[in-house]
Protein backbone atom coordinates (compact mmCIF):
# COMPACT_ATOMS: atom_id res chain seq x y z
CA UNK A 1 0.00 0.00 0.00
CA UNK A 2 2.87 2.36 0.77
CA UNK A 3 4.22 1.90 -2.79
CA UNK A 4 0.81 2.69 -4.27
CA UNK A 5 0.55 5.87 -2.18
CA UNK A 6 4.15 7.06 -2.74
CA UNK A 7 4.04 6.61 -6.53
CA UNK A 8 0.45 7.88 -6.80
CA UNK A 9 -0.62 4.78 -8.72
CA UNK A 10 -4.24 4.70 -7.49
CA UNK A 11 -6.56 7.64 -8.00
CA UNK A 12 -8.36 8.72 -4.84
CA UNK A 13 -6.21 6.72 -2.40
CA UNK A 14 -5.57 8.83 0.72
CA UNK A 15 -1.92 9.65 1.40
CA UNK A 16 -1.56 7.76 4.68
CA UNK A 17 1.46 5.82 5.86
CA UNK A 18 0.29 2.20 6.16
CA UNK A 19 1.81 0.04 8.89
CA UNK A 20 2.36 -3.66 8.24
CA UNK A 21 1.74 -4.41 11.93
CA UNK A 22 -1.85 -3.20 11.81
CA UNK A 23 -4.32 -5.87 10.69
CA UNK A 24 -7.54 -4.88 8.98
CA UNK A 25 -11.02 -5.98 10.04
CA UNK A 26 -11.52 -8.07 6.92
CA UNK A 27 -8.38 -10.09 7.70
CA UNK A 28 -9.44 -10.62 11.29
CA UNK A 29 -12.85 -11.83 10.16
CA UNK A 30 -11.23 -14.09 7.58
CA UNK A 31 -9.01 -15.67 10.26
CA UNK A 32 -5.96 -14.75 8.24
CA UNK A 33 -4.08 -13.51 11.29
CA UNK A 34 -3.97 -16.83 13.12
CA UNK A 35 -0.51 -18.19 13.66
CA UNK A 36 0.38 -21.84 13.33
CA UNK A 37 0.32 -24.10 16.35
CA UNK A 38 3.68 -24.50 18.06
CA UNK A 39 5.43 -27.81 17.57
CA UNK A 40 5.37 -30.11 20.57
CA UNK A 41 8.72 -31.41 21.80
CA UNK A 42 7.22 -34.26 23.78
CA UNK A 43 4.58 -36.92 23.14
CA UNK A 44 1.36 -36.19 25.03
CA UNK A 45 0.39 -39.86 25.32
CA UNK A 46 2.06 -42.34 27.65
CA UNK A 47 1.28 -45.66 25.97
CA UNK A 48 0.42 -47.04 22.53
CA UNK A 49 -3.22 -46.85 21.37
CA UNK A 50 -4.09 -44.25 24.02
CA UNK A 51 -5.07 -41.76 21.30
CA UNK A 52 -5.82 -42.51 17.66
CA UNK A 53 -6.14 -39.99 14.84
CA UNK A 54 -8.61 -41.12 12.17
CA UNK A 55 -9.15 -39.61 8.72
CA UNK A 56 -11.52 -40.70 5.97
CA UNK A 57 -10.51 -39.71 2.44
CA UNK A 58 -12.54 -40.01 -0.70
CA UNK A 59 -14.28 -40.66 -2.94
CA UNK A 60 -11.33 -41.18 -5.25
CA UNK A 61 -11.95 -40.72 -8.96
CA UNK A 62 -10.26 -44.01 -9.81
CA UNK A 63 -11.34 -47.14 -7.95
CA UNK A 64 -8.85 -49.73 -6.74
CA UNK A 65 -8.71 -53.22 -8.21
CA UNK A 66 -11.02 -54.38 -5.45
CA UNK A 67 -13.56 -51.63 -6.21
CA UNK A 68 -12.68 -49.46 -3.21
CA UNK A 69 -13.09 -45.68 -3.47
CA UNK A 70 -12.46 -44.52 0.12
CA UNK A 71 -9.40 -44.73 2.38
CA UNK A 72 -9.57 -44.81 6.18
CA UNK A 73 -6.24 -43.82 7.75
CA UNK A 74 -5.63 -44.50 11.46
CA UNK A 75 -2.50 -43.14 13.18
CA UNK A 76 -1.37 -44.01 16.72
CA UNK A 77 -0.31 -40.80 18.50
CA UNK A 78 2.34 -42.52 20.65
CA UNK A 79 4.18 -44.62 18.08
CA UNK A 80 3.02 -42.86 14.87
CA UNK A 81 2.23 -46.32 13.50
CA UNK A 82 -0.25 -46.03 10.64
CA UNK A 83 -2.96 -48.41 9.43
CA UNK A 84 -4.72 -47.95 6.10
CA UNK A 85 -8.12 -49.51 5.44
CA UNK A 86 -9.83 -49.38 2.07
CA UNK A 87 -13.61 -48.98 1.83
CA UNK A 88 -16.09 -49.31 -1.02
CA UNK A 89 -18.47 -46.74 0.50
CA UNK A 90 -18.56 -44.26 3.37
CA UNK A 91 -21.15 -46.20 5.35
CA UNK A 92 -18.66 -49.05 5.89
CA UNK A 93 -16.51 -46.82 8.10
CA UNK A 94 -18.00 -47.65 11.49
CA UNK A 95 -18.12 -51.41 10.91
CA UNK A 96 -14.52 -51.48 9.61
CA UNK A 97 -13.38 -49.42 12.60
CA UNK A 98 -15.08 -51.83 15.03
CA UNK A 99 -13.40 -54.79 13.30
CA UNK A 100 -10.09 -52.93 13.54
CA UNK A 101 -10.56 -52.36 17.29
CA UNK A 102 -11.51 -55.99 17.90
CA UNK A 103 -8.38 -57.05 16.02
CA UNK A 104 -6.27 -54.83 18.27
CA UNK A 105 -7.77 -56.36 21.42
CA UNK A 106 -6.91 -59.87 20.23
CA UNK A 107 -3.22 -59.00 19.79
Domains of the chain: 1-34 (no CATH), 52-106 (3.30.420.10)
Q: What is the pLDDT along the chain (107 residues), one digit of tens a residue?
A: 677 777 777 777 777 766 666 666 766 666 555 677 788 787 788 999 999 999 999 999 999 999 999 999 999 999 999 999 999 999 999 999 999 999 988 76
Q: How far is Cα 88 from Cα 60, in angstroms, rounded to an integer?
A: 10
**Whole-prediction pTM value?**
0.62
* pLDDT for residue 57: 94
* pLDDT for residue 107: 66
* pLDDT for residue 99: 94
Type and span of the H or E element at 34: none
- Residue 83 burial by Cβ neighbours in a 10 Å radius (0-12, 13-18, 19+): middle
Amino acid sequence: MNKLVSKDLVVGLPSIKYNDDKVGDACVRGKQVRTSFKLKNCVSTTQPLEMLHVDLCGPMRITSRGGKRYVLVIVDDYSRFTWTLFLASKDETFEKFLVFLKGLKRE
